[in-house]
């Protein structure tokens, strides 16, 4: 396995290398949850490395390469457990006459072909002006709508696609103390404060119930777009300006909903370490792989911050088998 560098602790293990080769070294049925944002096929270009999915020849070539990732995830995931994919629709260009490719739909079809069941889709709302200022997309401007609305676009949502590996889940994902905090911009109404740290039958925990209602929604409309790990310092001179870490609110919600404390949370496209960070803070074991060295270096810094964060949960060390 071509691992360039690695850092392994009691709480996490992160690697600088090719995620496909890395997964080949893992045993079957050992990952409880995976969550990641793959390179958006044909939209972003992260490096000139031949192993980089974003460096594929075209959209079809991207999916030929990406299929090996999905196959690997299916093998290493426990039966009945979850893999979550963050994605969006892909514009053809930024010329003012764009059309969209249904990237989420193609991801769904690929996962179903490889044995996963498609069970849920969370739509992540994004404020149009924020998207316009970040991407400078020509079709997403008031002036375009004024001049010719036939070419006007929208602030495309992000999606978190939830897939379950076929088979029986033999380790129930339980919430014996309910949901203890809410990852999002809108606070839980104050009348539910009295149910914080509720003891007894958690079905009567109105604080947790309110959080569940929001997490179980198909539309997440209060994700804090700016709540991300530091990423600016890791950018190489030739990096595209769009580079942005996945929001921690998205990661927190998925990890809290879909895994138990102490379980293994894996990300094959680690970036600056957001998913591993979220896993550690939530008392899980984070495992991540990143091909690009500058991102890996930033992930090390971010994980040092996670271990110094007094909010992270202390759990017993479990063999992470890597």
Contacts of 214 (CB under 8 A, 6+ apart): 182, 184, 186, 220
pLDDT at 276 over 50: yes
pLDDT for 119 equals 98
Q: pLDDT confidence of 52, banded at 50, 70, 90?
A: low
pLDDT for 235 equals 55
Residue 271 DSSP SS3: coil
pLDDT in tens, 143-182: 888 888 888 888 889 999 999 999 999 999 999 999 988 9
With a pLDDT cut of 90, the percent of the chain lying above it is: 61
Which among 238, 236, 217, 252 is positioned nearest to 294, based on CA atoms? 236
pLDDT for 247 equals 94
pLDDT for 233 equals 57
Question: How far is residue 272 from each of residues 4, 15, 77, 145, 319, measured CA to CA in Å?
Answer: 16, 12, 23, 36, 24
Q: pLDDT confidence of 48, banded at 50, 70, 90?
A: low
Taking residues 89-112, report their average pLDDT.
Answer: 84
pLDDT for 124 equals 97
Q: Are 179 and 256 in contact (CB under 8 A)?
A: yes
Q: Checking DSSP bridges between strand 158-165 and strand 116-124, what pairing results, if any? A: antiparallel
Q: Checking DSSP bridges between strand 264-267 and strand 285-290, what pairing results, if any? A: parallel
pLDDT at 309 over 70: no
Choice between 182 and 45, residue whose per-residue pLDDT is larger: 182
- Taking the domains of the chain in order of start, what are their residue ranges? 3-124+156-308
The class (CATH top level) of 3-124+156-308 is alpha beta
pLDDT in tens, 181-210: 899 999 999 999 889 888 888 889 999 999
Taking residues 211-218, report their average pLDDT.
Answer: 96
Of the ranges 33-42, 234-243, 276-285, which is most confident?
276-285
Q: pLDDT confidence of 278, banded at 50, 70, 90?
A: very high
Task: Supply the mean pLDDT for the chain.
Answer: 86
| CA–CA distance, 19 with 83 (Å, rounded to integer) | 15
List the strands of the sheet with 31-36, edge to edge: 3-8, 12-17, 285-290, 264-267, 31-36, 77-88, 158-165, 116-124, 219-220
Q: pLDDT confidence of 262, banded at 50, 70, 90?
A: very high
pLDDT for 317 equals 36
pLDDT for 145 equals 85
pLDDT for 322 equals 39
Q: What is the DSSP letter of 80?
A: E
pLDDT in tens, 108-129: 999 999 999 999 999 999 998 8
Choice between 317 and 159, residue whose per-residue pLDDT is larger: 159
| CA–CA distance, 208 with 280 (Å, rounded to integer) | 21
| CA–CA distance, 89 with 166 (Å, rounded to integer) | 27
Q: pLDDT confidence of 315, banded at 50, 70, 90?
A: very low
pTM for the model: 0.88
């Amino acid at each position: 396995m071509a691992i360039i560098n690695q850092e392994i602790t009691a709480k996490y293990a992160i690697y600088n290398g090719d995620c496909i080769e890395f997964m080949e070294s893992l045993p079957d049925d050992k990952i409880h949850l995976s969550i990641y944002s793959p390179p958006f096929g044909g939209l972003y270009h992260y490096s000139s490395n031949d192993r980089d999915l974003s460096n594929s020849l075209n959209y079809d070539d991207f999916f030929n390469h990406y299929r090996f990732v999905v196959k690997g995830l299916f093998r290493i995931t426990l039966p009945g457990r979850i893999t979550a994919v963050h994605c969006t629709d892909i514009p053809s260009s930024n010329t003012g006459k764009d059309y969209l490719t249904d990237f989420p739909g193609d991801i769904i079809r690929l996962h179903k072909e490889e044995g996963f069941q498609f069970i849920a889709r969370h739509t992540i709302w994004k404020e149009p002006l924020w998207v316009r200022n970040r991407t400078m997309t020509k079709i997403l401007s008031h002036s375009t709508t004024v001049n010719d609305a036939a070419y006007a676009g929208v602030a495309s949502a992000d999606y978190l696609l939830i897939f379950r590996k076929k088979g029986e889940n033999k380790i129930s994902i339980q919430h014996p103390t309910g949901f203890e905090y809410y990852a999002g911009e809108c606070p839980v109404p104050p009348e539910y404060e009295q149910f914080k740290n509720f003891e007894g039958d958690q079905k009567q925990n109105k604080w947790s119930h309110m959080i569940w209602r929001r997490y179980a929604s198909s539309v997440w409309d209060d994700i804090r777009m700016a709540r991300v790990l530091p990423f600016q310092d890791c950018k190489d001179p030739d990096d595209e300006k769009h580079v942005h870490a996945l929001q921690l609110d998205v990661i927190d919600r998925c990890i809290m909903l879909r895994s138990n404390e102490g379980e293994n949370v894996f990300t094959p496209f680690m970036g600056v370490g957001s998913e591993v960070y979220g896993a550690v803070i939530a008392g899980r074991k984070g495992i991540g792989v990143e091909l690009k060295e500058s991102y890996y270096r930033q992930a090390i810094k971010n994980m040092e911050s996670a271990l110094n964060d007094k909010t992270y949960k202390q759990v017993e060390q479990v063999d992470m088998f890597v």
